[in-house]
Amino acid sequence: MTTTPLIRAGIGGWTFEPWRGVFYPEKLKHALELEYAAQRLTAIEVNGTYYGTQKPASFAKWAKETPEGFVFTLKGNRFVTNRKVLGEAGESMQRFLGSGLVELGDKLGPILWQFAPTKKFDVEDFGAFLALLPEKQDGLRLRHALEVRHPSFVDPAFVALARKHRVAVVYAEHHDYPEIADLTADFVYARLQKGEDTIPTAYPPEALDRWAARVAEWAAGRAPEDLPLAAPDAPAPVQARDVFAFFIHEGKVRAPHAAMALIERLKAIGAPAAIPAVSA
């Protein structure tokens, strides 16, 4: 059980040319972008691990360039999740988990396992996959989150399965995919994907106010009443939870400003937010 919850807010990756002159100073060296972002945000979701294997030296370098308390969440490799029979993913999973990510140490956040929008829910299929997920890698604790994108997962059986294996179901605010806000682990993972680049903070102020309130509810252990549940008749126990909230996908140019604005709102309402090294 998490006794001291902490809320982290961030973005997807740190290399994005349109951020130069908008988030990054115009003349900032590319080699300093991670350091700059990590001083103003409290988490980054790494997408590159989905497409290819990283080297241990890369993970170690990321850890060295970021301040204490900063966290990276890693998207699991596509060869693990993009398969017809998930129970056969063991070898690919171990190859990914053994690629050196433990070099991040206490800066390793949850592993995000993202499934194709065409992947449907099957109890045996997903049960076999979840049984493969290890609790540790080389002595380092692992936390796992599932991002499912087919409507068939809006099913109490899926929520029960996730709770059985203590993995988080990603809450994905998206225009096309199902939104599942059931609490199934000792942490919450949210991907907020309805931002707009025409808005300075990607989301309008009133929407950020609502998200600050929801995120604070999650940290306190409660499911926000205005978010949809797949298993409304089986509420999760109230317990403090770490929260990871990412502004990602749509509105990407302004996503860093959304994350910084959320952090400031969380501070203002006294929520247990991780505080970046440099204020927004």
Query: In Å, what is the CA distance from 12 to each residue of 165, 204, 220, 256?
Result: 26, 20, 25, 9
> Which band of pLDDT confidence, cut at 50, 70 and 90, is reported for residue 29?
very high
Domains and CATH numbers, the chain: 7-268 (3.20.20.410)
Sign, Cα dihedral of 126, 72, 51, 89: negative
Phi and psi at residue 99, to the nearest 5°: -85, 0
In the DSSP assignment, the letter for residue 172 is: E
Residue 159 has, within 13 A of its CA and on its CB side, a CA count of 19
Given a contact cutoff of 8 angstroms between Cβ atoms, the answer to whether 53 and 99 are in contact is yes
Looking at the DSSP bridge assignments, the partners of residue 81 are none
Percent of the chain residues past pLDDT 90, beyond the cut: 95
Q: What is the pLDDT of residues 112-143, one digit of tens each?
A: 999 999 999 999 999 999 999 999 999 999 99
Token look-up 């990283």 returns 54
pLDDT of residue 1: 40
Largest CA distance in the chain: 54
Task: Please check whether residue 269 is in contact with residue 21, taking contact to mean a CB–CB distance below 8 angstroms.
Answer: no
55 vs 4 pLDDT, higher one = 55
Let me know the angle formed at the C-alpha of 47 by 45 and 48, rounded to the nearest 5 degrees: 130
- Does the pLDDT at position 2 exceed 70? no
- 151-166 pLDDT, tens per residue? 999 999 999 999 999 9
- Can you tell me the mean pLDDT for 21-35? 97
- What are the pLDDT digits (tens) for 194-231? 999 999 999 999 999 999 999 999 999 999 999 999 99
Question: Could you tell me how far CA 121 lies from the centroid of its own chain?
Answer: 21
Retrieve residue 32's tokens: 């300093």
Beta strands 71-75 and 43-46 are: parallel
pTM for this one?
0.97
- The set of residues, in sequence order, having a beta carbon less than 8 Å from that of 94 and lying 6+ positions away, is none
How far is it, in rounded angstroms, from Cα 179 to Cα 182? 9
